[in-house]
């Protein structure tokens, strides 16, 4: 993506409106996981070192367009101050006279965090007047919130009509570079691993990837709809009956394109999600009263053999109900196989990232995307409003 980046901006003496994704989980009034906060720190530090002042903006949760104390960014301000080693005061709002006065007082090397953008319904409506008011707070715009780039919201899209130039932050650039590497010029073979519960969540992604990948490995609950489409008995496993024809069409399309589709050959089955344990059976031996809740060990080996051959691997979605210990081995096994492969690997989606961290192999993954929905939509080939709104770089 040929977009202007923060490294190309003249930052000294400027106030930057930095849209970040600081939507962190809170527990007892404290940030309980600062992954998204630490991800934006390099961009903040770069701007501060180059003599800029920063107006930092984000949403938190879903406050339904009205002020709600439990969605205040106060805990985020406190944690950001600790990460940066300097004060990060919180403005009382993201617009208004008091906030405007505070923003005008932000000098080089200082940071002001605006209160939750979603306290105003105009944010999610991509309201032009609201965006114009946000734009008055700064001299230029930087978006480092790739995880929210698929939202046409005022602080992501409309604001760029009033505040230019609009550049990508370091995190945004990293995301676009890594995902662009998959779609535009991947080292082959390009292998996609898809899991998760439902085919319906991944139809567009599967169809887009079939035009690009050399092999598609399918696990998770969605695999059982494909297996049913092939005539296998799947017991009480998850089945989307209205997607069986879709699965057949995908398999036929893959065959026509000479794309290898690898489905589970065994599964870990149990009577239900709360079962204390499960046992592996061949895919043709799933009992009628049991459900498949993970891929089995032979499938993990089969997937690992394909991954070994990959020049590039992209993975989204767990292989089973991995948050429950009896059904985690498949997802963790695939995580270790991806980490052990010689190819460039990219993973995205909260569950997939959690699995890689749980397996202790995050440091051996080529790129871990911070995004969920935006990650999927980008790989589906959709135009992301937050990316489209950025200024084109000079060629």
Location of structure tokens 């920063």 = 54
Is residue 187 among the annotated active site residues?
no
Q: Which residues of 214-248 are buried (b: 16+ CB within 10 A; e: fewer)?
A: bbbbbbbbbbbbbbbbeebebbbbbbbeebbebbe
Name the pTM for this structure.
0.86
Strand partners, 291: 270
Half-sphere exposure of 295 (CA within 13 A, CB side): 33
- The segment(s) of the chain belonging to CATH 3.40.50.1260 are 6-172, 186-379
- Give CATH superfamily name and number for 186-379: Phosphoglycerate kinase, N-terminal domain (3.40.50.1260)
- The H or E element that residue 368 is part of is strand 367-368
Is residue 118 among the annotated active site residues?
no
- Exposed/middle/buried for residue 147 (C-beta within 10 Å: 0-12, 13-18, 19+): buried
The residue annotated as part of the active site, out of 132, 373, 381, 382, is 373
Cα separation values, 394 from 4, 97, 146, 189, 196, Å: 8, 37, 22, 33, 40
Is residue 198 among the annotated active site residues?
yes
The residue annotated as part of the active site, out of 36, 79, 118, 243, is 36
**63-117 pLDDT, tens digit each:** 999 999 999 999 999 999 999 999 999 999 999 999 999 999 999 999 999 999 9
Q: What is the CATH number of domain 6-172?
A: 3.40.50.1260
The residue annotated as part of the active site, out of 198, 248, 249, 336, is 198
The residue annotated as part of the active site, out of 311, 350, 372, 381, is 350
Cβ atoms of 132 and 162 within 8 Å: the answer is: yes
| CA–CA separation, 244 and 249 (whole Å) | 9
**136-154 pLDDT, tens digit each:** 999 999 999 999 999 999 9
DSSP E strands in 209-299: the ranges are 215-218, 260-262, 266-270, 279-282, 291-295
**Per-residue pLDDT tens digits of the chain, which is 395 residues long:** 689 999 999 999 999 999 999 999 999 999 998 989 999 999 999 999 999 999 999 999 999 999 999 999 999 999 999 999 999 999 999 999 999 999 999 999 999 999 999 999 999 999 999 999 999 999 999 999 999 999 999 999 999 999 999 999 999 999 998 888 888 889 999 999 999 988 888 888 888 899 999 999 999 999 999 999 999 999 999 999 999 999 999 999 999 999 999 999 999 999 999 999 999 999 999 999 999 999 999 999 999 999 999 999 999 999 999 999 999 999 999 999 999 999 999 998 888 988 999 999 999 999 998 787 888 888 888 889 999 999 998 76
Round to the nearest angstrom and report the end-to-end CA distance of the chain.
11
């Amino acid at each position: 993506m040929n977009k202007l980046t923060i490294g190309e901006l003249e930052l000294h003496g400027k106030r930057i409106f930095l849209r970040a994704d600081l939507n962190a989980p809170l527990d007892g009034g404290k940030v309980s996981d600062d992954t998204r906060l630490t991800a934006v720190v390099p961009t903040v530090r770069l701007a501060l070192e180059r003599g800029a002042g920063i107006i930092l903006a984000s949403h938190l949760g879903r406050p339904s367009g009205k002020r709600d104390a439990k969605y205040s960014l106060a805990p985020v301000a406190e944690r950001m101050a600790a990460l940066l080693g300097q004060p990060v005061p919180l403005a009382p709002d993201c617009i208004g006279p008091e906030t405007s006065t505070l923003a005008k007082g932000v000098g080089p090397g200082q940071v002001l965090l605006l209160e939750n953008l979603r306290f105003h319904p105009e944010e999610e409506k991509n309201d032009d007047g609201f965006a114009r008011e946000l734009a008055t707070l700064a001299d230029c715009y930087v978006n480092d919130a790739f995880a929210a780039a698929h939202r046409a919201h005022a602080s992501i899209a409309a604001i760029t009509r009033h505040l230019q130039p609009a550049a990508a932050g370091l995190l945004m650039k990293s995301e676009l570079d890594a995902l662009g590497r998959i779609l535009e010029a991947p080292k082959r073979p390009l292998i996609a691993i898809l899991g998760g519960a439902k085919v319906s969540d991944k139809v567009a992604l599967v169809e887009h990837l079939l035009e690009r990948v050399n092999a598609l490995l399918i696990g998770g609950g969605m695999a059982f709809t494909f297996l049913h489409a092939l005539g296998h008995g799947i017991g009480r496993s998850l089945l989307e009956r209205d997607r069986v024809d879709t699965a057949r069409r995908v398999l036929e399309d893959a065959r026509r394109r000479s794309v290898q589709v690898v489905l589970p050959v065994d599964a870990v089955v149990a009577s239900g999600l709360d079962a204390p344990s499960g046992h592996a059976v061949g895919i043709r031996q799933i009992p009628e009263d049991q459900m498949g809740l993970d891929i089995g060990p032979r499938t993990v080996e089969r997937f690992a053999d394909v991954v070994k051959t990959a020049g590039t691997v992209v993975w989204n979605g767990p292989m089973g109900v991995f948050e429950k210990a009896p059904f985690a081995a498949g997802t963790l096994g695939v995580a270790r196989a991806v980490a052990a492969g010689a190819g460039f690997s990219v993973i995205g989606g909260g569950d997939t990232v959690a699995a890689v961290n749980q397996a202790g192999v995050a440091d051996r993954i080529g790129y871990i995307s911070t995004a969920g929905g935006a990650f999927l939509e980008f790989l589906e080939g959709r135009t992301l409003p937050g990316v489209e709104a950025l200024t084109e770089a000079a060629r």
